Every structure is written in C-alpha cells, then in structure tokens.
Amino acid sequence: MARLFRPQAAPHRVDNPLAAQVGQRVEVALSAQGVLTSAVWVYLLPLSALLGGALLGTRWGDGIALVCALLGWGLALGVTRWWATHHAQSAAFQPCITRIFSDDDVTLRDSSPCQPTSPCSKN
C-alpha cells in the first residue's frame, strides 16, 4: 500500500529522545493505538467499501456490482489518502527510538510497552 501512495522511496523520520547516533543499533516503536487506527483506515475501510459497493450493485446485475465495488474501493482509497496526509504528523503515528543497544548486547529483549498515544510522549 505504501507504494500506491508514495511510489519513490521516502526517508522515515523517527523521534530520537535518546540522542542515538548514526550507525547505532536501536529499537523503534509505534503506539498500539496508532497501528490499529492505521490498519482500520488502510485495510478495513477500502475492503468494506469494496464489499459494500458490490452488495449495493447486485440489485442491478453482476456488471453493475463490479462497477459499484470498484467505485467504492476507489473512493475509500481517496479518503484514506486524504486522512493519511492530514494525520501524518500526529504524535500517535510517529515512530520513536525507545532503546539503544550496546555492542555486546546480542539478544533482543522485551522493553516496556509503548504508551497508548505515542511511545515517545512524556508523562
């Protein structure tokens, strides 16, 4: 889906409250709320619109059902793109560096879970 909205590779900005340096191994986290909300907008909304359009169009035959399904899907993708551009800078959707690994740390361990709104928000 990312290639649909951004065909070229784009750098990703990550909040860096730990002042990590280039080349260090870090753990990056996203808030659970941000991931869930994004999944609903990116996957569930277009799928629901596709199925809803198909069901609506079955009254008039298979050809119209296909057209309605594609129209619903396309409209949902447009709404999703609008939503993504207007909420891209929201703290709930920003990745955050939560830990810096030392050179002798060879195993990844569980760390504290992300905050509900943003893993980097100060409480």
Tokens linked to 85: 């551009």
What pLDDT is recorded for position 116?
Answer: 44
Per-position DSSP letters for 52-100, written without gaps between them: HHHHHHGGG-HHHHHHHHHHHHHHHHHHHHHHHHHHTT-GGG--EEEEE
What pLDDT is recorded for position 16?
Answer: 86
Mean pLDDT value of segment 7-36:
83
What pLDDT is recorded for position 72?
Answer: 95
Tens digit of pLDDT for each residue in 60-111? Answer: 999 999 999 999 999 999 999 999 888 877 878 888 889 988 877 655 554 5
Q: What's this model's pTM, rounded to 2 decimal places?
A: 0.62
